[in-house]
Amino acid sequence: MSDVPSASNGDREPVQDAHARVRDVFDDWADRGRAEGMESGHGFAARQGFDRLELTTGAHYLDVGCGNGYTVRWASDVVGAEGRAVGIDLSPNMIERARELSAGLPNVQFHEAAFPEHPLPRGAFAGIFSMEVLYYLPDTAGALHEIARLLQPGGRFACVVDYYRENEESHTWPDDLGVAMNLLSMAAWRGAFEEAGLTVIEQTCLQYPLEEGKEPGWKQTQGSLLTVGEKRA
């Protein structure tokens, strides 16, 4: 698994520094209303990934890197009073926004934490989702192992990324944002899922419909990469 970054990868900056850079970027985005921009910009692909989890009433759900918490509110609706919908994000401003927008929902919880650190019980979740997050984590392989540990046997993880090797237009993003990102191919994502104990049940590029009056871009030609894994018993 040489192209999947792991804890032993020495090429990147120390983990705490990497988290601090990412935190600064997304605290600023939250302040400038870009969390809601992501909610609408990611919504098409996020909804498809979320639906692949096939959550039912009473299930426990987790969003890793939840931003303003929009999928946690979707899950809150689906899992009902017996279930639980949880979001983790390392940006305090994103978590503050998520809590404001979710006020009054009794089955919702948000944690400010830098995944894979978290206060959550292992084996508790029927569905875990993550949209546009995992490539920021310095140790991709370790994060996937932790996600597998958090899932119940048969539970699903739906992961959507726009920064991946086959999406050439995304390759400038680390320089554009000034943060390190791990560039994985579709095959490397599949391999990393399998290595973590998640059987890949689907991998697809989700191409967005063209909005009226707009020119097609990478969202229409290449699309967001969705990988869905199921925890082996």
Ligand X SMILES: C[S@@+](CC[C@H](N)C(=O)[O-])C[C@H]1O[C@@H](n2cnc3c(N)ncnc32)[C@H](O)[C@@H]1O
* Residues within the interface to ligand X (CB under 6 A): 19, 22, 26, 38-39, 42, 46, 65-67, 88-91, 94, 114-115, 131-133, 136-137
Q: What is the DSSP string of 24-59?
A: HHHHHHHHTTHHHHHHHHHHHHHHHHHHTT---TT-
Q: How far is the CB of 82 from ligand X (least distance, A)?
A: 25
Q: How far is the CB of 147 from ligand X (least distance, A)?
A: 12
Token pair recorded at residue 137: 């984590």
Distant-in-sequence, close-in-space partners of 11: CB < 8 Å, separation ≥ 6:
5
Kindly tell me which of 24 and 82 has the beta carbon lying closer to ligand X. 24
Q: How far is the CB of 115 from ligand X (least distance, A)?
A: 4
Kindly tell me which of 118 and 190 has the beta carbon lying closer to ligand X. 118
Q: How far is the CB of 44 from ligand X (least distance, A)?
A: 11
Kindly tell me which of 135 and 193 has the beta carbon lying closer to ligand X. 135
- What distance in Å separates the CA atoms of residue 138 and residue 204, rounded to the nearest whole number? 24
Kindly tell me which of 55 and 137 has the beta carbon lying closer to ligand X. 137
Kindly tell me which of 122 and 232 has the beta carbon lying closer to ligand X. 122
Spatial contact of 67 and 92, defined as CB atoms under 8 Å apart: no
Task: Find the helix or strand (DSSP H, E) in which 146 lies.
Answer: helix 140-150
C-alpha closest to that of 73 among 105, 41, 43, 97: 105
HEC sequence for 52-118: CCCCCCCCEEEEECCCCCHHHHHHHHHHCCCCEEEEEECCHHHHHHHHHHCCCCCCEEEEECCCCCC
Kindly tell me which of 79 and 137 has the beta carbon lying closer to ligand X. 137
Q: How far is the CB of 114 from ligand X (least distance, A)?
A: 4
Kindly tell me which of 22 and 158 has the beta carbon lying closer to ligand X. 22
- What distance in Å separates the CA atoms of residue 86 and residue 109, rounded to the nearest whole number? 5
Torsion of CA 166, 28, 113, 127, to 10 degrees: -50
Distant-in-sequence, close-in-space partners of 169: CB < 8 Å, separation ≥ 6:
217, 218, 222
Q: How far is the CB of 56 from ligand X (least distance, A)?
A: 23
Q: How far is the CB of 198 from ligand X (least distance, A)?
A: 19
